[in-house]
Structure 1
Amino acid sequence: MSDQAFDLTRRSFLDRVLMATAGAGVAAAAPWAVSAANAASAAPMMPATGDRVRLGVIGTGDRGRALIRNIAKSRNCTVAAICDNFAPHLAKGREIVGASVPAFADHRAMLDARGIDALVIATPLNQHARHATDGFDAGLHVWCEKAMARTISDCGAMITKSRAANKVLQIGHQRMFHPTYLNALKRVKAGEIGEITQVRASWHRNNSWRRPVPAGTDDRHINWRLYRESSAGLMTELATHQLQVGNWFLDAVPTRVIGSGSICFWKDGREVYDHVALIYEYSGGRKFIYTSLLNNARYGCEEQIQGSKGTIEPELGRIYAEVPPKVLALQRMHQDVARGSKRTVPIGGATWFPELPVTTPGESLGWGEYDETMLQFEGFGEAVRSGKPLPGLLAQAYRASVASLLGEQAMDRGEAMTWPTSLVEV
């Protein structure tokens, strides 16, 4: 793709973000996206390299390399250094950034070398808090992959440290920048699906999540997602995304959560659940129902935002209006008698209809697939330049991480867990 063609694509993307966030209701619910899109739209399209925010990336595994590619497409950021303590991953990172970008096997050496304005963390979950703290201590702003940290206390400590250092902390929740989700929120705020009483979400896959371990390498280093020390498995690696969506559309945090988790299929020495089912309760009796498993991919990744007038499925980009229920023959006869009217009643006709899923095609929420991760980094770049975080963004990420870890506790203990009262104010 030529630079000009990419600029046109990017402009179209930004225009759609701005369109999706137009209106007071959405501006209040997603101020970060409005701020990021307005800043990116008002600024020059492709500033000189010297004007870009210099990022040092810790972690060049699969996710880290995906982030590097998105940073390269952004208008205001550039990768100025990379780091990974696993040589094969570092080599793959070098292939993307080129030989002119410094590469380090130790993140402290990268910090000591200077030459960067902010840190991007794409390391195992239990390392996030330490790496973020080291970044703040080095005078850097920090962008960190979700979930925030391995414990609720570490999530709060990251926020406290960022404030003490007067530095930006941003967490990677790309759905908060996605035009389809923003348009869905806009239509919810307009009342199109009525009062939301339930959100159902699932992330189903059919693979073990286990990666091959090269000779001489520790399994816990490669398959860290499968061990309790470094991950909460499905809850932190997948559910965090959808818990953020649930909190966002319900405009609240849960009051409590109950759940059940098990290792019921992949009995291969892993410590984290391969099958989870939870119910998060919100004020007014509203609920977020979540399942995730690793041995059936039929329903994949989806969210169903259910209101009294309709349903939105943002992953599929569709909105559905409620269909009036069918009237049974005997009910129709009763209504006719009450009105004093007559009609033929089929004696052999159906008096009960199975309540099967509605199959109406619905309406598109628009725009298909977009690389919203790029806009995340453009927003982060503007935040670093101004020294001010994008409004409201960190609160959403923090609450999603707390919800995921609280769900893990509920499953482990086999009892309902209430929302903590001692969280950091955001």
Structure 2
Amino acid sequence: MKRRQFIKRVVQTGAVVSATALSGKDVLGANERVRVGLIGCGGRGMFDAKLMRDVPNAEFVAVCDLYPPHLAKAKEWAGTSAKEFKDFRRLLEQKDIDAVLIATPDHWHAIPTVLACQAGKDVYVEKPLAHNIQEGRTMVEAARRHNRVVQMGAQQRSAPHYAEVARIIQSGELGRVHFVRIWNYTNMFPNGVGRAPDSDLPEGVDWDMYLGPAPYVPFNKNRFIGTYRWFWDYGGGLVTDFGIHRFDSMQQIMKADAPVSVTASGGRYGLTDGAETPDVVQVTYQYPGFILSYEACMLNAHGAGGRTPGNEQPSEGFRMQRKEMSAEDATASHVKNFIECVRSRKKPAADVEIGHRSTIVAHLGNIAYRTGHKIRWDAAKEEIVDDPEAAKLLARQRRKPWALI
């Protein structure tokens, strides 16, 4: 099915939306409460939610998770008046909810977002925006058709130091930039996620619901909480988990929208586990006017010596730019920006279209890696040029009843 046909089945193309504001909902006053529902109550979901509740006049009135321990902790945190659900669809039926925070595994980003937009609720959804490129475009179309504020969790968009770097580069102070290098290094040596056998379900878990649109497989703990992202059915490994932040910042700083071609290489070289995504990967993107090199590895300077928690403080060295900049995590500012936009109906810092374009970069890298092909990208049509095999990875078949999204 062509991308346009797919989108038409889900959401009909809506009217043009202003570049600065969204319509369709009354602007809330500064003292009116924004009532939020949390979908996905794991570590990142609770981290985001706690910061969002710190925003004046934001409150969580419902929580949802299919893993009972997470749901119980979230309910205790949210308070006795908050409703609890195992099925996000029931949460979306609640009329007293203005917005939802979605922090589920990647393969569960698109469907709740689209249904939330249809239900008239604004959405803060964690990165990457979607499991594949076709889902991402569907999310954009849903947000526009239903006039929803949809923000991706790319918190660096709300960070002053990234804005300052963008100013420096775009001002020409460093001259014209023709080569950009970004990277991520972590350490899971030597066993990674291990090789867990299939096993019985944890008590109270609806495994079929967890898999959702993904193919059915027996329960395996490595495909569940925390490590799902290393399997193609649910995530995209290093490139979509860590790389998405770097790609988004690069496109912001370089004022770039999309590459024209992509090549990649890598493999599972260092870890002896059962994961599928590469533990070493290098991706080269050609943009109009510059080259981007991205590299990621699950082995770092600690090597076989293991993983040491903490923050490394390098020596001063020589810097081209000596201006001091704050570099703390910007999630608090990012969730505040979202709540403010729910009230004002302005577009947020990491609007769904921005999130989609940055997530495309990550997905194209994985497609190049998985096929071994040089990918040529038509950004206007959001199509891979003259490569039917690679084009199949722009979307995927979804299990019923989730085929509608």
**TM-score, with structure 1 as normaliser:** 0.70
2:12 match: none
Of 158, 173, 177 in structure 2, the residue corresponding to residue 196 of structure 1 is 177
Query: CA offset at residue 316 of structure 1?
Result: 11
Matched, 1:229 2:239: no
* C-alpha spacing 1:211/1:82, structure 2 compared with 1 (3 Å): farther
1:341 match: none
Of 331, 342, 351 in structure 2, the residue corresponding to residue 393 of structure 1 is 351
Q: Comparing both structures, which one devotes a greater share of its residues to helix? A: 1
Distance 1:148 1:72 in 2: 22
Of 252, 255, 258 in structure 2, the residue corresponding to residue 251 of structure 1 is 255
* C-alpha spacing 1:76/1:182, structure 2 compared with 1 (3 Å): farther
Distance 1:99 1:317 in 2: 44
Q: Which amino acid aligns with 1:397?
A: G
2:375 match: 417
* C-alpha spacing 1:171/1:200, structure 2 compared with 1 (3 Å): same
User: Does the Cα contact within 8 Å between 2:149 and 2:347 map onto a contact in 1?
Assistant: yes
1:161 match: 142
SS in 1 for 2:165: helix
SS in 1 for 2:178: strand
Distance 1:212 1:379 in 2: 41
Output the aligned Cα RMSD. 3.0
Query: CA offset at residue 258 of structure 1?
Result: 0.6
Query: CA offset at residue 297 of structure 1?
Result: 4.9
Q: Which amino acid aligns with 1:280?
A: Y
* C-alpha spacing 1:100/1:164, structure 2 compared with 1 (3 Å): same
CA deviation vs aligned residue, 1:119-177 (integer Å, no higher than 9, x gap): 11100111111111221221111111111111111100111111222212211111111
SS in 1 for 2:282: strand
Point out where structure 1 has 5 or more consecutive residues left out of the alignment.
1-30, 36-42, 300-314, 319-357
Matched, 1:181 2:166: no
Distance 1:80 1:423 in 2: 38
Identity of aligned residues (%): 29
1:274 match: 279
1:106 match: 87
Distance 2:182 2:57 in 1: 34
Q: Which amino acid aligns with 2:91?
A: M
CA deviation vs aligned residue, 1:330-358 (integer Å, no higher than 9, x gap): xxxxxxxxxxxxxxxxxxxxxxxxxxxx9
SS in 2 for 1:196: coil
SS in 2 for 1:247: helix
Q: Matches of residues 207-356 of structure 1 in structure 2 within 5 Å? A: 207=188, 210=193, 216-217=201-202, 218=219, 219=221, 220-222=223-225, 223-252=227-256, 253-284=258-289, 286-297=290-301
Query: CA offset at residue 181 of structure 1?
Result: 0.8
SS in 1 for 2:109: helix
Distance 1:247 1:149 in 2: 18
* C-alpha spacing 1:255/1:73, structure 2 compared with 1 (3 Å): same
* C-alpha spacing 1:265/1:247, structure 2 compared with 1 (3 Å): same
User: Does the Cα contact within 8 Å between 2:193 and 2:274 map onto a contact in 1?
Assistant: no
Distance 2:93 2:301 in 1: 45
* C-alpha spacing 1:237/1:73, structure 2 compared with 1 (3 Å): same
Query: CA offset at residue 215 of structure 1?
Result: 6.7
**TM-score, with structure 2 as normaliser:** 0.73
Distance 1:177 1:376 in 2: 5
User: Does the Cα contact within 8 Å between 1:121 and 1:128 map onto a contact in 2?
Assistant: yes
Which deviates the most, 143-152 or 106-115? 106-115
Query: CA offset at residue 203 of structure 1?
Result: 0.7
Q: Matches of residues 32-47 of structure 1 in structure 2 within 5 Å? A: none
Distance 1:225 1:265 in 2: 18
User: Does the Cα contact within 8 Å between 1:183 and 1:365 map onto a contact in 2?
Assistant: no
Distance 1:269 1:397 in 2: 30
Point out where structure 2 has 5 or more consecutive residues left out of the alignment.
1-18, 22-27, 203-218, 304-310, 384-405
